[in-house]
Amino acid sequence: MQPPPHRLAKPDDPPLAPCGHMWVFAYGSLIWRPGFDHAGQHRAFLRGYHRRFCLWSHRYRGTPERPGLVLGLDRGGACHGIVFRVPGQHAAAVLRYLDDRELPDGAEQVYHRRLVPVRLVDSPGRVVPAIAYVANRACRLYAPALTPEHAAQVIAQGVGQMGANRDYLLNTLEHLTGMGVRDAGLARIAALLPRVRGAA
């Protein structure tokens, strides 16, 4: 039985594994745009959560007037992703960066930072404690029951500070495919996106 996830202390007290490193689990844009230095990465598998477009975005991939959607780890199922290994001496700085990115001051908290057990796919039997940003179900921006059709409609028109919502989806899907991971939910939404005018 997997141990339960835990809330974490402030960034100045990063959770280091017995090996002396901090591990960070990536399931969305962190896969293709981590934004921090790391000493290595591995394919990883997390039980108890799945990747889903379940959070409205009024900033990064949309606006209050025309929201977009971003991915969160939601309860149930399992998720394939990447886990990054961060040397202990850089862990506090990386954790501050991640909190600023995922839990920015003054913005509604759409994620909870957790420590979760992830299995390294390339090292059978090895499980490491990793930082993960889990969807905050109590947040008003939590979107619990969007159909693929509705999600595709929203993603097709969302644009925010970090660019088009469509690109966020397609970049994530492309990198998952490159890892040999098929995410049927994301693939279904991508297939429902309207074609871009002028595209071949």
Burial class (CB in 10 A: 0-12, 13-18, 19+), 56: buried
Active-site position among 65, 102, 149, 174: 102
Report d(CA 54, CA 144) in Å as an integer.
6
Q: Which residues contact 114 (CB under 8 A, 6 or more apart)?
A: 5, 6, 7, 8, 131, 132, 133, 134
Kindly give, in sequence order, each residue whose CB lies less than 8 Å from that of residue 104, ignoring residues fewer than 6 positions away: none
Residue 65 is among the residues annotated as catalytic for this protein: no
Rounded to whole angstroms, how far apart are CA atoms 81 and 31?
7
Using alpha carbons, select from 62, 92, 68 the residue that is nearest to residue 143: 68
Please say whether the beta carbons of 139 and 109 come within 8 A. Answer: yes
Q: What is the C-alpha to C-alpha distance for residues 73 and 86, in angstroms, rounded to an integer?
A: 21
DSSP E strand boundaries for 58-157:
68-87, 111-120, 127-135
Active site residues: 102
